[in-house]
Amino acid sequence: MLQLDRLHAFYGKSHVLHGVTLDVARGEIVALLGRNGSGRSTTAKAVMGLVHTQGGIVWKGQSLSGLKPYEIAQRGIGYVPENRDIFPKLTVHQNLMLGRKPGASARAKPARWTFDDMYALFPRLRERQHTPAGVLSGGEQQMLTLCRTLMGDPELVLIDEPTEGLAPRIVEQVAEYLLALKARGLSVLLIEQKLTIALEISQRCVVMGHGRVVFEGTPAALNADAAVRREWLEV
């Protein structure tokens, strides 16, 4: 579905990505791994049109290069940023409403995800649906951000560090949530620091270092490659 071909990305004159090539297939979870500063988040931003790029970004056979972020989102790619970006003064339910595509209620094809789906996945959000999002805990805000993205009915979701700063119990919930996405046929590009989670739920792992792909393979292959883990992942 998504193919990146020799992708370069820039922040002003700073050259961050150096020829990144990777792909994500339909219904697949691909873990994008690496230390801070390796280029993982920039890769997601490049796909969403948030940084200047050179090279190929192809979605379902069509180039995304030059499109605005909202145009990319309308084509079926959702983005969950690391900083969450909730609307703190709006309620949980209002935040979810903002995630829906314009004209969603008038579409002939029913949406893949509904409010009831979101509240079933995360009952805590149902309990707090009339609460301003700004007073939610970090874990609850992460749940809300994930659910708001799904309300846009994407086919691929780019998720940046969904378990950062969360309690172990909530981390387990997020992992279950991501598997639920795969079960519904969604593709996921997961940017994650926790190697255990990535190895547990992904079908393929891509490791980045210094803005380049330095490893691509199955979780089992990465787990068996001590040299790659030591050089590019372990602190």
**All domains of the chain in start order, with CATH:** 2-232 (3.40.50.300)
**Chain segment 45-76, per-residue pLDDT in tens:** 999 999 999 999 999 999 999 999 999 999 99
Q: Count CB-CB contacts under 10 A for residue 9.
A: 23
Instruction: Give the mean model confidence (pLDDT) for residues 213-235.
Output: 93
- Helix axis angle for 168-183 and 138-150, nearest 10°, is 10
Give the contacts of 14 (CB within 8 A, at least 6 positions apart): none
Q: What is the per-residue pLDDT for 136?
A: 92
Q: Count CB-CB contacts under 10 A for residue 135.
A: 10
Q: What is the per-residue pLDDT for 106?
A: 47
Q: How many residues are given for the chain?
A: 235
Angstrom distance (rounded) from CA 81 to CA 68 = 17
Judge whether 122 and 129 are in contact, CB under 8 Å. no
Q: Residue 38's closest CA among 192, 222, 217?
A: 192
* Mean of pLDDT over the chain: 90
What is the b/e burial string over 204-233, where b = at least 16 CB atoms within 10 angstroms of the residue's CB?
A: bbbbbbebebbbbeebeebeebeebbeebb
Q: What is the per-residue pLDDT for 54?
A: 95
Residue scoring higher pLDDT (143 or 156): 156
Model confidence at 109, pLDDT cuts 50, 70, 90, reads low
Question: Would you say residue 108 has pLDDT above 80?
Answer: no
Model confidence at 234, pLDDT cuts 50, 70, 90, reads confident
Half-sphere exposure of 49 (CA within 13 A, CB side): 17
Express as a percent the part of the chain with pLDDT over 90. 64
**Chain segment 81-101, per-residue pLDDT in tens:** 888 789 999 999 999 999 887
Give the contacts of 168 (CB within 8 A, at least 6 positions apart): none
Question: Would you say residue 159 has pLDDT above 90?
Answer: yes
Q: What is the per-residue pLDDT for 103?
A: 59
Model confidence at 188, pLDDT cuts 50, 70, 90, reads very high
Beta bridge partners of 53: 9
Residue scoring higher pLDDT (37 or 108): 37
Window from 38-47, 132-141, 159-168, 208-217 with minimum mean pLDDT: 159-168
